[in-house]
Amino acid sequence: MMNYWSYLNEYKSLRKNILKSLDKTLMSGQLFFGNQMKKFEKEFIKHNNLKYGIAVGSCTDAIYISLLGLGIGLGDEVLTVSNTAIPTVSAIRSTGAKVKFVDIDHNYLMDPKKIEKCISKKTKVIIPVHLYGLACEMDSICKLAKKYNLKIIEDCAQAQGAKYKSRKVGSFGDAGCFSFYPTKILGAYGDGGFISTNSYKLLKKVRRIRFYGIEQNDKKNRFNKKYYSNQHGINSRLDEIQSTILNIKLSKVNSWINKRNKLAKIYSRELKKTSLVLPKVPENSKHVFHLYVVYHKKREIIIKNLNKNKIKININYPFPIHKMKAYNRNKNVKYHNLSTTEKMAKGIFSLPLYPSLKEENVLRITKIIKKILKDM
Ligand SMILES: Cc1ncc(COP(=O)(O)O)c(C=O)c1O
């Protein structure tokens, strides 16, 4: 079976460097909040042209902590989309806030035209999800947020490096949340996440919340008052081992994004005359192709035949969140019309795409798909 994603190929190429650096890290005697995490925070901010930021334990935590930092809780409403990964929604619900789903456009992203009718007096935050590696229509979303005095938290879990009008994601909202889950554009070898922000006030809050509300002073003492909490917080640390790995991988990530784009171009070129609906890249956007998602009404037949050819296919995601047991009868989950979300969920599937995938494999996959479609 062809590997859907493979961190192993990438690890093999970085192994010497990683093992040497990990030994150094482990010998340093510092497992948390050490030089590796501090270096990563600085470098990640620089790499993505962000203003401030902190590393945390995961993107789920990043969204939860950002919401807490903005004071979101019981009685508030947060807008997002239903075709996202579960954690976007679980992070909102963990704060006690209600979730309101906005329908999507034909790029699978929050449809700005459908936001306004979802806004009520209780709405406090919009969470646009830059799904599959493509940035949302941030001009329209920012305009609406300004008009209704709403905060924006960008879910950048799948879109590290993506650009909207030459600006990288994570720099538009009050906060941006990134994931370093191993399959992501920049992946650790375990969990990891990041919160970016343009607000120094929010930076200080989220920094406290990630560590039990304890004030962290990086300049002199590591902590002002070691065992004293200033506000309710949780434990969400990016450890030194994951930070060491991420520091090494950060220098490679642009070349991996280029490779993803190269493979995506081959898919688009080879499949353009078929009945598959292919991903479109808006003129003003830089896609990072975390996933290459196509749509076809008869996807089950196509997937079955691809599997027969030992090509494993994933669906991201087969169930919109509002259709899931955990959320479908929940009075804290609301939505109006999600017809595009529901239609897309029935036909989408993701073709294999990861940086170590060979061009000849992509050509083989496209050849098989063309034959399947012809025989259908
Ligand atoms: C869109 C989106 N948001 C949030 C997350 C949560 O990321 P993490 O696994 O780092 O908590 C993911 C990861 O699957 C995701 O794809």
Q: Please give the model's pTM, rounded to 2 decimal places.
A: 0.96
Atom of ligand 1 nearest to the CA of 155: 3
Q: What pLDDT score was predicted for residue 174?
A: 98
* Tens digits of residue pLDDT in 87-113: 999 999 999 999 999 999 999 999 999
Q: Which of 177, 180, 181, 194 to mutate to test the pocket of ligand 1 (most atoms within 8 A of CB)?
A: 181
| Mean local confidence (pLDDT), 39-58 | 98
C-alpha of residue 81 to centroid of ligand 1, in Å: 14
The ligand 1 atom nearest the CA atom of 192 = 10
Which pLDDT belongs to residue 217? 65
Q: Would you state the pLDDT for residue 226?
A: 75
Q: Provide the pLDDT for residue 2.
A: 38
Q: How far is the CA of 178 from the centre of ligand 1 (A)?
A: 8
Least confident of 36-50, 115-129, 329-343: 329-343
Task: Measure 351 CA to ligand 1 centroid, in angstroms.
Answer: 19
Average predicted confidence (pLDDT) for the chain: 95
Residue 4 scores a pLDDT above 60 = no
User: How far apart are the CA of 180 and the centre of ligand 1, in A?
Assistant: 9
Report which protein residue has its CA nearest ligand 1's atom 14.
Answer: 85
Residue-wise pLDDT for 52-65, tens only, equals 999 999 999 999 99
| Per-residue three-class SS string for the chain | CCCCCCHHHHHHHHHHHHHHHHHHHHHCCCCCCCHHHHHHHHHHHHHCCCCEEEEECCHHHHHHHHHHHCCCCCCCEEEEECCCCHHHHHHHHHCCCEEEEECECCCCCECHHHCHHHCCCCEEEECCECHHHCCCCHHHHHHHHHHCCCEEEEECCCCCCCEECCEECCCCCCEEEEECCCCCCCCCCCCCEEEEECCHHHHHHHHHHCECCECECCCCCCECCCCCECCCCCECCCCHHHHHHHHHHHCCHHHHHHHHHHHHHHHHHHHCCCCCECCCCCCCEECCCCCEEEECCCHHHHHHHHHHCCCCCECCCCCCHHHCHHHHCCCCEEECCCHHHHHHHCCEEEECCCCCCCHHHHHHHHHHHHHHHHHC
Which of 5, 58, 60, 210 to probe ligand 1 with, by most ligand atoms within 8 A of CB?
60
pLDDT the model gives residue 5: 56
Quick one: what percent of the chain has pLDDT higher than 70? 96
The pLDDT tens digits of the residues spanning 6-27 come to: 788 889 999 999 999 999 999 9
Q: 1 vs 228, which has greater pLDDT?
A: 228
Is the pLDDT at 197 greater than 90? The verdict is yes
**Ligand 1 atom closest to Cα of residue 180:** 10
Q: Is residue 337 predicted with pLDDT exceeding 90? A: yes
Q: How confident is the model at residue 186 (pLDDT cuts 50, 70, 90)?
A: very high
Percent of all residues in the chain with a pLDDT value above 90, rounded to a whole number = 90
Cβ < 6 A, ligand 1 pocket? 58-60, 84-85, 87-88, 129, 155, 157-158, 179, 181, 191, 193
